[in-house]
């Protein structure tokens, strides 16, 4: 159970900057592969951010940062993002101004690893000057430069980023970032969008798309006693927007059989009833129920759901959670000169 909470805590920490919660372009099956060796050609890292992400993602999220930060909900998320971004103020980086889109992959290699690509506008010279190894980032530690696969990593408390160009950067924890750099160095930049995402990335006008593969995940299995709607759940996918009152979600959860889907829908609705019944208690803690609307209905092995989230209430909740969770510690920091030791075929 402790490991399950740690896994979800780390997921939340990395998802906060991108969404304020715990996945644009239409992906194709074509591959973008570069040669290695003397005749190797440089990878166009700006061409397709999704192709930079490693295979085997247990979760994926794509967020239109411009739409997010332009919304009322996004105003609070901008502050949370700034408080969690491993960038010193002297770098001159402003999320609302400089970010366009976020492409995030969650991996289960050593607990939870994150590899993500961000598009927008980045100033490599200003960032390098800010990485003096002395000035603290919002994470409470200096930004330190490391070298891996011919690229410069900027890391603060094992969380950081790599500026690939003036318009594309990679961020995540060290293992996740190095997996991306390995792909680029080995000429393996190609589309590997998980099947559980389905056609989700084709959804027009959706500033948020997300998916999770929950099948045979130990952390999920450990939580089914507390969250019965997870019992038998194999995957979940959803789309969302950031319209008033904060965020609207519509999605599908897939179960092993029809009975599990029915039980899952009923359990999800019971959580909403519970939240409403203990509203007086949460208000004493300075937190109100952010779920204004929640509907779920089973259809065969699937359960369809829609939800409306109050942005202000969710922002308060995320503020408290982010303070409580802090930055997830890792027992071992990988030396900059060594590889994580995870091959492409092992994912």
* Confidence (pTM): 0.77
| Whether pLDDT at 2 is above 90 | no
- What own/partner pairs with CB < 8 Å and gap ≥ 24 does 281-290 have? 286/316, 286/320, 287/313, 287/316, 287/317, 287/320, 288/313, 288/316, 289/313, 290/246, 290/314, 290/317
Domain termination site, one of 193, 216, 238: 193
Residue 197 CA to residue 213 CA, distance in Å, equals: 9
Query: 297 has which bridge partners?
Result: 304
Instruction: Tell whether 163 and 208 lie within a shared domain.
Output: no
| Whether pLDDT at 79 is above 60 | yes
Instruction: Tell whether 165 and 245 lie within a shared domain.
Output: no
| Whether pLDDT at 32 is above 50 | no
Residue 253 CA to residue 301 CA, distance in Å, equals: 9
Tokens 């304020």 locate to 20
Q: Are 302 and 258 in contact (CB under 8 A)?
A: no
Instruction: Tell whether 181 and 43 lie within a shared domain.
Output: yes
Instruction: Tell whether 147 and 59 lie within a shared domain.
Output: yes
Asked, for residue 314, whether it belongs to a domain, the answer is yes
Asked, for residue 337, whether it belongs to a domain, the answer is no
Mean pLDDT, residues 278-287: 53
The pLDDT, as a whole number, for residue 287 is 63
Instruction: Tell whether 166 and 267 lie within a shared domain.
Output: no
The pLDDT, as a whole number, for residue 199 is 82
User: Tens digit of pLDDT for each residue in 157-189?
Assistant: 888 899 999 999 999 999 999 999 999 998 888
Mean pLDDT, residues 101-114: 85
Q: Provide the domain count of the chain.
A: 2
Mean pLDDT, residues 278-282: 49
The pLDDT, as a whole number, for residue 255 is 95
User: Is the torsion defined by CA of 158, 164, 170, 171 positive or negative?
Assistant: positive
Asked, for residue 342, whether it belongs to a domain, the answer is no
Asked, for residue 223, whether it belongs to a domain, the answer is yes
| Whether pLDDT at 286 is above 80 | no
Instruction: Tell whether 19 and 77 lie within a shared domain.
Output: yes
Asked, for residue 340, whether it belongs to a domain, the answer is no
The pLDDT, as a whole number, for residue 41 is 56
Mean pLDDT, residues 219-244: 85
| Whether pLDDT at 93 is above 70 | yes
User: Tens digit of pLDDT for each residue in 117-134?
Assistant: 999 999 888 888 887 777
| Whether pLDDT at 218 is above 50 | yes
Q: How much is the mean pLDDT over the chain? A: 76
Instruction: Tell whether 43 and 183 lie within a shared domain.
Output: yes
Residue 138 CA to residue 127 CA, distance in Å, equals: 14
The pLDDT, as a whole number, for residue 110 is 60
The more confident residue out of 6 and 244 is: 244
pLDDT band at 27 (very low <50, low <70, confident <90, very high): very low
Domain termination site, one of 175, 193, 211: 193
Instruction: Tell whether 52 and 168 lie within a shared domain.
Output: yes
The pLDDT, as a whole number, for residue 36 is 40
Asked, for residue 143, whether it belongs to a domain, the answer is yes
Asked, for residue 112, whether it belongs to a domain, the answer is yes
Instruction: Tell whether 139 and 225 lie within a shared domain.
Output: no
| Whether pLDDT at 317 is above 70 | yes
Instruction: Tell whether 119 and 57 lie within a shared domain.
Output: yes
Asked, for residue 93, whether it belongs to a domain, the answer is yes
Instruction: Tell whether 46 and 154 lie within a shared domain.
Output: yes
Instruction: Tell whether 222 and 180 lie within a shared domain.
Output: no
The pLDDT, as a whole number, for residue 343 is 41
Domain that holds residue 169: 2-193
């Amino acid at each position: 159970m402790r490991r399950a909470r740690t896994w979800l805590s780390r997921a939340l920490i990395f998802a906060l900057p991108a969404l304020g919660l715990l996945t644009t372009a239409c992906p194709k099956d074509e591959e973008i592969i570069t040669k290695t060796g003397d005749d190797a050609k440089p990878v166009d890292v700006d061409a397709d951010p999704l192709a930079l992400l490693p295979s085997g993602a247990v979760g994926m999220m794509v967020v239109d940062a411009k739409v997010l930060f332009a919304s009322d909900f996004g105003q609070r998320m901008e502050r949370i993002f700034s408080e969690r971004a491993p960038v010193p103020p002297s770098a001159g980086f402003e999320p609302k101004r400089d970010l366009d889109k976020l492409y995030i992959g969650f991996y289960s290699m050593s607990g939870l690893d994150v590899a993500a690509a961000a598009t927008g506008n980045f100033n490599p010279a200003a960032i390098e000057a800010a990485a003096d190894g002395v000035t603290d980032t919002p994470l409470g530690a200096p930004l330190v430069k490391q070298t891996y696969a011919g690229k410069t990593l900027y890391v603060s408390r094992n969380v950081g980023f790599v500026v690939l160009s003036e318009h594309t950067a990679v961020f995540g924890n060290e293992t996740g970032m190095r997996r991306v750099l390995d792909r680029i160095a080995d000429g393996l930049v190609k589309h590997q969008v998980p099947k559980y995402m389905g056609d989700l990335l084709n959804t027009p006008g959706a500033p948020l798309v997300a998916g999770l593969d929950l099948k045979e995940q130990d952390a999920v299995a450990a939580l089914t006693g507390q969250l019965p709607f997870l019992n038998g759940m194999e995957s979940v996918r959803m789309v969302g927007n950031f319209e008033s009152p904060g965020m609207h979600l519509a999605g599908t959860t897939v179960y092993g059989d029809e009975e599990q889907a029915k039980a899952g829908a009923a359990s999800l609705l019971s959580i909403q009833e519970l939240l409403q019944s203990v509203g007086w208690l949460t208000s004493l803690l300075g937190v109100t129920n952010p779920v204004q609307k929640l509907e779920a209905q089973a259809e065969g092995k699937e359960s369809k759901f829609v939800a409306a989230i109050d942005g202000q209430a969710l922002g308060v909740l995320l503020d408290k959670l982010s303070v409580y969770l802090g930055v997830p510690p890792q027992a071992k920091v990988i030396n900059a000169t060594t590889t994580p030791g995870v091959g492409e075929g092992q994912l």
